[in-house]
């Protein structure tokens, strides 16, 4: 068995072939129950796509090994992070595509493949990215808990078998299972043939198994416990409707929507009076056979019974999941989406129209609005007649005008809620880290305001106003996993940068015609030898923060780079003290070897290097004037153009410099062109230069500071540099050298920070086609001694971080105006003009025609465009009373019978947090007492009117004043006397729950 047999990376086919093969697999693979799909980090996959699309085997977008690091909570458990989103955080690839990618690229060591099965869920096939993770324990010892994962399609029996096995339950024992949610309520899992999904078992719950006692009793049904729970339920007589809803695992979006609907008087009264029973529509193919309506009615009746502090809406949740697969499982959803689904589901389940007739829509044809609107409403009611329509449906007019033939199309459409846009700020606040040229300065976190549609250069300009650095001396980069995910061109759009990206802005030395933009990574060597990868002789792991520095082309010798890096890292890399034992014995015949190798530039096998006369510890050369000098100013000054160092690296230089993507450096472009016509140069360099993956660099030459002072030594070196062979080190130094180990070695790498590259059809040596990347590789012991991890991670906050972010406030009326503002249709959504007979980007105008009894207004806080996804934190100032729509209504009141258009607020669904995570709650006014409450899952607290308008408000419920009835009960408290804790009406529940909490709702058989 040879070392190579471990090699897992096969020779991949050409890039075009790769792209075609994978793309067709992605396109053609269909979900089939039981099939395996694989989760792949989206960034890695994007990079791979970029790579194969580049068509260049040597492209810097080479993605390296498949790396799912970012998907894991940590690298010990390899537990996948929660709430990752498909196509945002990861992509799913079918098994065949995965195996190909794995064969071609391999996988970062130690990472498990994220294989997931396709499961057959009600109404959908789905890759089960997140299996249900539950805790298992025995009733007799609830301290001993294990974690286990099950598919939603597994049966409860599978779980029972798992418990029996895990806890070595004797075979033949008579068992029963309970599931306990986080709020400690327990429910019996009676039917072991039921699926995990149908049993409403979800992640985070505990499955408890008990075994029948010898006397025939069950441990869980001791009488005193059960009596307790019955008494508890009997004794509570709370305010009807003031009832929490238990969170069943990220179901706050559902609870929030339910509380708003529960506090919508006409709808709740309809259910409490059981009017729904006569109207259940079991035959409507668009409905859910009455099941949603019945499940909803059950929840409402429990909430308004006054018997519960909190209700567990488990059956309701399962029904919703059955009919709308997007609400299945464990992921966070949108309360407005659920609301929309629910109103639709309730409507169809309760539709009084049993047979929908087909109605042909007539064009408005310049008939008066009144006539067309009445016809549209009549037609709508002929097909749709339910409590939902009665309560929530209104009518708006939509006018489309063709830009070419001026055809005007008018339609009147019913709506169930208004989705109103928020004025989108043209500016954007970004948080970035500024990395100064001063090697002693810590990175500084800044908050800058930039135009949303701006370019990367606008970010530099904005930052420049805070610090004394010119925009052209900045480079902006996205740092991800200790490497550069992207180095931005100043012309690129800021929309490429997401708020959650870690953006670093690097100060560069003043533009030097002959400079190279060098990306520097830090890597730690692992101890084993990595045979699988071919060219590299050790495995490496990236760590710390990468750096970008502009290096004069004349200073790219390994030795100079070593010095330069030491200097640049001086804040957290301690230069070795001369007394420290880094020296190693010199071997006799080594001198000749070294001499030979050096004529080529970097020596290939230069483990130890001579130490020059002069101070051994390198001094930072530019620390006295860090801000306006080149990072490498001193070395440049020290070496005239024809210096030995430069010529020693002539070829290496050409390679390093040819790739600089620095867009403002014309020299780089020229160099690149130059190199591309001279492939020989590149490959030569690949053999001998940085790119060859050689071992340690030379130990520091005499510090260049000395050189700038023009001392004797310097002159000697200069003199030497002019004599052939140019790259030999001065004889004097060779004579007195002694060997030293350097702190780290320098290695050319790809943009991913890996040394080895997939050898494609080109098979050529490494070259930098766009951007030079080098890594400095540390042995573990050297890193421990000289690299100060704590210091490396330090940063400071600029005062801009302390300025509270300005809250913009808009009036709700402005949002409604925006809703009715004429707009031009977007390219993706054109209108088919019946006159032109083609799709046109028509102008569109919406107007409100008639409004419902209960008006739902959805504030479009989640803004998704092609390029940006954001949540708008704007405060929308909405009135609690007297929201007057008369000025927005197109229909002018023709008689006194017209309903008024004034509304009072009755409920608000709130969303806290960002785009993907967050929490939903609601404010709602009790219909009987007119008291406001704050509903936060199972907790309910009193609320005062002043609390209600916040930037979390997401969906607003307004009730038309003519329909509002006087409260039948006095308000339970007068707002002035209330304090936070006194108001917590659930506190008594919490105390009670403290006594034997887990048994309270365990039911008897």
Binding site for Zn ion (CB under 5 A): 402, 404-405, 407, 833, 835-836
Alpha-helical (H) ranges within 569-678 are 590-598, 633-638, 644-648, 650-658, 666-676
Residue with tokens 């860090």: 626
Q: Indicate the residue among 161 and 841 with the shorter CB distance to Zn ion.
A: 841
Q: Tokens 């609601």 — which residue?
A: 922
Q: How far apart are CA 327 and CA 310, in angstroms?
A: 22
**Residues in contact with 934: Cβ distance below 8 Å, sequence separation at least 6, in sequence order:** 921, 922, 923, 940, 941, 942, 943, 947
What is the nearest approach in angstroms of Zn ion to the Cβ of residue 373? Answer: 24
Residue nearest to Zn ion (CB): 402
Give least dist CB 841 to Zn ion, A: 11
**Local structure of 80: helix, strand or coil:** strand
Q: Quote the radius of gyration of the chain (alpha carbons, Å).
A: 35
State the Cα angle at 22 between 20 and 25, rounded to 5°: 105
| Residue 339 contacts residue 260 (beta carbons within 8 Å) | yes
- Nearer Cβ to Zn ion, position 840 or 901? 840
Active site residues: 252, 919
CA 289 to chain CA centroid, Å, is 38
Q: What is the DSSP string of 197-209?
A: TTTT--TT-EEEE
- Hey, CA dihedral for 644, 646, 652, 654, is it positive or negative? negative
Residue 903 parent element (H or E) = strand 902-912
The DSSP 8-state label assigned to residue 851 in this structure reads -
Other CB atoms within 10 Å distance of the CB of residue 397: 22
CA distance 17 to 655: 29
What is the closest distance, in whole angstroms, from the C-beta atom of residue 181 to Zn ion in the complex?
58
Pick from 54, 108, 231, 8: nearest CA to 770: 54
| CB nearer Zn ion, residue 301 or residue 407 | 407
What whole-number distance in Å separates Cα of residue 547 and Cα of residue 554? 20
| Residue-by-residue DSSP string for 736-768 | H--EE--SEEEEEE-TTS-S-----SS-PPP--
Under 8 Å between Cβ of 232 and 992: yes
Take residue 275 and report the two structure tokens written for it. Answer: 């009017």
Nearer to Zn ion, 86 or 404 (CB): 404
Least Å from the CB of residue 826 to Zn ion = 18
- Which residues are bridge partners to 455 per DSSP? 493
Contact 922, 259 (CB under 8 A): yes
Instruction: Provide the minimum distance between the beta carbon of 832 and Zn ion in the complex, in angstroms, as a whole number.
Output: 9
* Residue among 8 and 824 whose Cβ is closer to Zn ion: 824
Output the smallest distance, CB 371 to Zn ion, in A.
Answer: 24
d(CA 314, CA 393): 29
Q: Which C-beta is closer to Zn ion: that of 400 or that of 616?
A: 400
d(CA 297, CA 268) in angstroms, rounded, equals: 9
Q: Please say which residue, 398 or 495, places its beta carbon nearer to Zn ion.
A: 398
- Shortest reach from residue 21's CB to Zn ion, in Å: 45
- The H or E element spanning position 723 is none
Tell me whether residue 55 or residue 834 sits nearer to Zn ion (CB atom): 834
CB-nearer residue toward Zn ion: 401 or 746: 401
Query: Nearer Cβ to Zn ion, position 796 or 836?
Result: 836
At closest approach, how far in Å is the CB of 843 from Zn ion?
12
Of 109 and 404, the one with the shorter C-beta distance to Zn ion is 404
Containing 832, the helix (H) or strand (E) segment is strand 831-833
What minimum distance in Å lies between the beta carbon of 839 and Zn ion?
10
Smallest Cα–Cα separation from 258: which of 270, 241, 274? 241
Q: Please state the closest distance from residue 437 (CB atom) to Zn ion, in A.
A: 60
Q: Provide the strand spans (E) within 108-213.
A: 115-121, 124-127, 132-138, 141-150, 175-180, 186-189, 206-211
> Closest approach of Cβ 837 to Zn ion, in Å?
8
Backbone angle region of 448, left / alpha / beta, with phi > 0 → left and psi within -120 to 50 → alpha:
beta
CB atoms within 10 A of CB 965: 12
* Residue whose CB is less far from Zn ion, 832 or 867: 832
The angle, 0 to 180 degrees and rounded to 10, between the axes of the packed helices 95-105 and 15-28 is: 160
Q: What angle do CA 593, 596, 600 make, to 5 degrees?
A: 135
Residue 696: CA count within 13 A, CB half-sphere:
19
Report, in Å, the least distance between residue 886 CB and Zn ion.
35
What is the nearest approach in angstroms of Zn ion to the Cβ of residue 378?
A: 29
For 625, other C-beta atoms within 10 Å of its C-beta total 11
Q: Is 3 exposed, middle or buried (0-12, 13-18, 19+ CB in 10 A)?
A: exposed
Comparison of 466 and 825: residue with beta carbon closer to Zn ion: 825
């Amino acid at each position: 068995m040879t070392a190579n047999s471990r090699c897992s990376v096969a020779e991949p086919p050409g890039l075009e072939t790769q792209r075609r093969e994978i793309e067709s697999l992605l396109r053609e693979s269909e979900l089939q129950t039981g099939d395996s799909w694989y989760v792949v980090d989206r960034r890695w996959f994007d990079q791979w796509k970029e790579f194969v699309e580049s068509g260049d085997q040597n492209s810097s977008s080479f993605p390296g090994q498949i790396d799912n690091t970012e998907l894991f909570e940590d690298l010990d458990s390899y537990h996948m992070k929660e709430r990752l989103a498909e196509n945002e955080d990861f992509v799913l690839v079918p098994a065949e595509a995965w195996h190909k990618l794995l064969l071609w690229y391999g996988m970062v060591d130690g990472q498990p493949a994220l294989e997931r099965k396709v499961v057959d869920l009600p109404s959908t096939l789905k890759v089960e990215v997140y299996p249900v993770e539950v805790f298992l324990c025995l009733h007799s010892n609830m301290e001993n808990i294990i974690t286990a994962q099950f598919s939603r399609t597994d049966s409860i029996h599978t779980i029972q078998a798992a418990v029996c096995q895990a806890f070595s339950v004797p075979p033949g024992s008579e068992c029963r299972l309970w599931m306990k949610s986080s709020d400690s309520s327990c429910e019996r899992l009676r039917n072991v043939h039921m699926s995990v999904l149908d049993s409403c078992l979800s992640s985070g719950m505990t499955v408890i198994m008990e075994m029948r006692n010898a006397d025939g009793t069950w441990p869980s049904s001791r009488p005193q416990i059960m009596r307790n729970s019955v008494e508890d339920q009997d004794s509570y007589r709370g305010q009807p409707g003031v009832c929490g809803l238990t969170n069943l695992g990220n179901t706050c979006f559902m609870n929030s929507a339910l509380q708003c609907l529960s506090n919508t008087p006409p709808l709740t009264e309809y259910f409490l009076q059981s009017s729904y029973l006569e109207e259940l529509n079991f035959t409507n193919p668009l409905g859910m056979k009455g099941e949603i309506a019945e499940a909803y009615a059950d929840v409402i009746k429990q909430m308004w019974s006054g018997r519960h502090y909190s209700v567990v809406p488990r059956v309701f949740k399962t029904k919703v999941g059955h009919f709308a697969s997007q609400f299945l499982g464990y992921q966070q959803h949108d309360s407005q989406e659920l609301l929309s689904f629910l109103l639709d589901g309730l409507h169809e389940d309760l539709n009084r129209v049993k047979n929908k007739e087909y109605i042909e829509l007539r064009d408005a044809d310049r008939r008066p609005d009144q006539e067309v609107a009445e016809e549209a409403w009549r037609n709508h009611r002929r097909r749709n007649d339910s409590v939902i329509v009665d309560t929530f449906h209104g009518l708006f007019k939509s006018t489309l005008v063709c830009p070419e033939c001026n055809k005007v199309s008018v339609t009147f459409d019913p709506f169930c809620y208004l989705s109103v846009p928020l004025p989108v700020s043209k500016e954007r606040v970004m948080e970035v880290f500024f990395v100064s040229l001063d090697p002693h300065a810590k990175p500084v976190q800044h908050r800058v305001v930039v135009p949303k549609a701006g370019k990367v250069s606008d970010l530099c300009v904005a930052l420049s106003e805070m610090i004394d650095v010119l925009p052209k001396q900045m480079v902006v980069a996205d740092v991800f996993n200790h490497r550069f995910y992207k180095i931005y061109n100043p012309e690129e759009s800021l929309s490429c940068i997401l708020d959650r990206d870690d953006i670093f802005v690097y100060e560069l030395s003043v533009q030097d015609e002959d400079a190279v933009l060098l990306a520097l990574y830090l890597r730690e060597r692992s101890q084993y030898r990595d045979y699988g990868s071919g060219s590299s002789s050790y495995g490496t792991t990236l760590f710390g923060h990468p750096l970008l520095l502009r290096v004069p082309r004349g200073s790219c010798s390994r030795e100079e780079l070593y010095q330069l890096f030491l200097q640049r890292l001086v804040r957290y890399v301690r230069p070795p003290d001369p007394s420290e034992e880094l020296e190693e014995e010199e071997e006799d015949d080594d001198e000749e070897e070294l001499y030979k190798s050096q004529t080529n530039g970097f020596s290939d096998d230069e483990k130890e290097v001579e130490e020059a006369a002069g101070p051994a510890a390198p001094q930072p050369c530019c620390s006295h004037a860090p801000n306006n000098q080149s990072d490498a100013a001193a070395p440049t000054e020290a070496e005239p153009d024809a210096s030995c160092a430069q010529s020693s690296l002539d070829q290496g230089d050409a390679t390093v410099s040819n790739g600089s993507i620095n867009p403002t450096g014309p020299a780089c472009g020229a160099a690149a062109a130059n190199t591309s016509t001279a492939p020989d140069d590149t490959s030569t360099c690949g053999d001998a230069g940085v790119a060859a993956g050689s071992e340690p660099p030379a130990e520091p030459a005499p510090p260049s500071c000395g050189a700038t002072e023009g001392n004797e030594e310097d002159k000697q070196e200069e003199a030497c540099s002019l004599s052939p062979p140019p790259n030999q080190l001065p004889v004097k130094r060779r004579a007195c050298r002694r060997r030293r180990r350097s702190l780290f070695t320098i290695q050319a790498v790809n943009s991913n920070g890996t040394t080895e590259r997939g050898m494609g059809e080109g098979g050529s040596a490494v070259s930098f086609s766009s951007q030079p990347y080098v890594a400095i590789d540390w042995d573990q012991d050297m890193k421990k001694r000289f690299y100060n991890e704590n210091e490396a991670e330090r940063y400071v906050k600029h005062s801009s971080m302390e300025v509270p972010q300005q809250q913009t406030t808009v009036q709700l009326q402005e949002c409604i105006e925006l809703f009715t503002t004429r707009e031009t249709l977007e390219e993706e959504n054109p209108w088919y003009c019946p006159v032109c007979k083609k799709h046109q980007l028509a102008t569109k105008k919406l107007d409100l025609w008639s409004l419902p009894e209960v008006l739902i207004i959805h504030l479009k806080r989640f803004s998704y465009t092609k390029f940006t996804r954001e949540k708008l934190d704007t405060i929308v100032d909405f009135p609690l009373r007297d929201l007057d729509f008369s000025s927005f209504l197109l229909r002018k009141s023709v008689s006194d019978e017209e309903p008024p258009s004034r509304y009072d607020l009755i409920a608000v669904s709130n969303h806290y947090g960002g785009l993907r995570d967050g929490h939903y709650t609601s404010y709602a006014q009790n219909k009987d007492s007119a008291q406001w409450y704050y509903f936060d899952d199972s907790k309910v607290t009193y609320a005062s009117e002043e609390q209600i308008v916040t930037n979390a408000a997401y969906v607003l419920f307004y009730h038309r004043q003519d329909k509002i009835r006087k409260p039948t009960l006095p308000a339970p408290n007068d707002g002035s006397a209330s304090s936070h804790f006194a108001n917590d009406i659930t506190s008594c529940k919490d105390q009670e729950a403290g006594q034997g909490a887990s048994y309270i709702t365990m039911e008897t058989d």
